[in-house]
Amino acid sequence: MGNMKDVLEKQGQAAREAARFLAVASTKLKNQALMAMADSLEARQQEIITANREDMEAGKRSGLSDALLDRLALNETRIKNMADGLREIAALPDPVGEVLSMTKRPNGLDVGRIRTPIGVIGIIYESRPNVTADAAGLCLKSGNAILLRGGEEALNSNRCIAAVIAKAAQECGIHQGAIQLVDSEAREAALLMMKMHDYLDVLIPRGGKGLKKAVQENASVPVIMTGMGNCHVYVDEYADLAKALPIVHNAKVQRPSVCNAAETLLVHRTVADKFLPPMLSDLAEAGVEIRGCEKTREIVKEVLAANEADWDQEYLDLVIAVKVVDSLQEAIDHINRHGTGHSEAIVSENYTNVRRFMANVDAAAVYANASTRFTDGNEFGFGAEMGISTQKLHARGPMGLKELTTVKYLIYGDGQIRE
C-alpha cells in the first residue's frame, strides 16, 4: 500500500502540473489533441478489441451477468462511437474563459465572472471502458487534468484505451500528466484516491451501491455522486396506451444494464386491467423477469411476487418491478420515496397531471411521454458525459463541459482603495 501511495502521489503531482498547463491551453491545441485521440482510437481499434477480449473472457469465467458483460464489451461500432464522441467534444464551444457577467460598481471597479477549469478531476468507475475516452476528452476540452481508475473487470481495456489517447494527446503537445490511468485493480488504490485532497479538486464515482457507500464513508476529497439509477415509468389514467407500451419497452429492454433504464413500472388502477396484460406479455417475450404487487398479480397470474426490497432495487438487468397505484399522488410519493433522483417518466395526455408530476418529482431528469433512456450527455447535445449527477451541488443531471468548470472573479480597477 505504501508503494501504491507513492505512485499515486507522483501521478497527483504530474496532474497538478498538467492542470496548470491546460488552464491556459488554447482551444485550437485542445481540439487538435481531441481529433488526434479520436483518429488513434480508430487506427488502433484491433489492439483495443484484443485487450477487451481478455476482459470479456475473464468476466465470463468470474460469472459476470449478461448485462454486465454488455457494459464491458467493445466492438468496432462502439470504438467508432467513442471516437465520434471525442470529435463532437472538439466541435463544441470551449467553456473556459466564457464571460458570465460584467458589472461596474459605484466605486468604478469592473467586476467580471468567467468560467475556469476545476483543476484535477479523479473518476472511479466500473465496467464501461468507453468512460475512459469520454471522461478524458471532456476533461481535456474543459482544461482539467484527469486521474482515471476503472474497475478490475475492464483493466486491460482501460490500459489500452488510456495509453492510446494519452500518447496521441502528448504528440500534439499536451502535458503528459493530463490523462493518467491509475493502473491497479487493488481496492486500496480507490481508497487512496478518496483521500487525495492535496491533488484532487473533485472525485466523481460512477458505480453501484458498494462504491457509493465506500465513497461516503472514506472520501475527504469533494465528491460529485453519479450513476445510481432506480428509474420509474408511470402510466397515468389519461395515458395514450399505444404510446405507453413502446416507451416502457424501450426504457426497460433497449439496454437494461445502464443507469437510465427503467427498474419500476407504475400503472394507474383505472387502466391497469387494459394495459398490464399486453405490456407484461411484451416484456416477458423480451426475456424480462416481472415482479409485481398483489394487484398486478391479480391481473396477470404468472407474475412473481414483489417484496418491499424490489421497490429500491437497481437491477441493471432484465428484471422489472410493477405496482398498481390508486392516484397520481401515490405515484409521485412512491417515486420520491424509492427513486435515486436520476430519471423519471410519466405517460399522460392530461396537461395538468403532466405539469404536476414534473413539478413534484424530485429527480435530475423528468420526462413526459418519452423513455428515460434519453438521459445521456450525447443525447442532450454535450458530446459525452462524465456521468449523471444525482445530487444537487454543484452539478445535476448529465455532466458535460460546463459542469466541469467553476468560476473566477476578475476585478479591474484604476487605483481604487477601500475606505
* Domains annotated on the chain, with CATH: 2-225+391-412 (3.40.605.10), 231-374 (3.40.309.10)
What is the model's pLDDT at position 228?
82
What is the Cα–Cα distance from 74 to 413, expressed in whole angstroms?
55
pLDDT tens digits, 166-193: 999 999 999 999 999 999 888 899 999 9
Band (pLDDT 50/70/90 cuts) for residue 226 is confident
What is the Cα–Cα distance from 404 to 3, expressed in whole angstroms?
31
Q: Which of 16-25, 229-238, 381-390 has the lowest mean pLDDT?
A: 381-390
CB atoms within 10 A of CB 102: 12
pLDDT tens digits, 308-319: 999 999 999 999
> What b/e sequence results for 147-183 when a residue is b if at least 16 CB atoms lie within 10 Å of its CB, and e otherwise?
bbbbbebbbbbbbbbbbbbbebbbeeebbebbbbbbb
What is the model's pLDDT at position 2?
61
Average pLDDT of the chain to the nearest whole number: 95
Give the pLDDT mean for 49-71. 93
What is the Cα–Cα distance from 121 to 377, expressed in whole angstroms?
18
What is the Cα–Cα distance from 105 to 342, expressed in whole angstroms?
41
Residue bearing cell 468476466 = 59
SS3 of the chain: the string is CHHHHHHHHHHHHHHHHHHHHHHCCCHHHHHHHHHHHHHHHHHCHHHHHHHHHHHHHHHHHCCCCHHHHHHHCCCHHHHHHHHHHHHHHHHCCCCCCCEEEEEECCCCCEEEEEEEECCEEEEEECCCCHHHHHHHHHHHHCCCEEEEECCHHHHHHHHHHHHHHHHHHHHCCCCCCCEEECCCCCHHHHHHHCCCCCCCCEEEEECCHHHHHHHHHHCCCCECCECCCCEEEEECCCCCHHHHHHHHHHHHHCCCCCCCCEEEEEEEHHHHHHHHHHHHHHHHHCCCEEEECHHHHHHCCCCEECCHHHHHCCCCCCEEEEEEECCHHHHHHHHHHHCCCCEEEEECCCHHHHHHHHHHCCCCEEEECCCHHHCCCCCCCCCCCCCEECCCCCCCEECCCHHHEEEEEEEECCCCCCC
Q: What percentage of the chain has pLDDT greater than the value 70? A: 100
What is the model's pLDDT at position 343?
97
In this predicted structure, the answer to whether residue 1 has a pLDDT above a threshold of 60 is no
Count CA atoms closer than 13 A to 153's CA, side-chain side: 20
The answer to whether the beta carbons of residues 239 and 348 sit under 8 Å apart is: yes
What is the Cα–Cα distance from 169 to 150, expressed in whole angstroms?
20
- Residue 224 is placed in which grid cell? 460529485
pLDDT tens digits, 271-312: 999 999 999 999 999 999 999 999 999 999 999 999 999 999
What is the model's pLDDT at position 127?
77
pLDDT tens digits, 116-174: 999 999 999 987 899 999 999 999 999 999 999 999 999 999 999 999 999 999 999 99
Band (pLDDT 50/70/90 cuts) for residue 265 is very high
Q: What is the pTM of this model?
A: 0.89
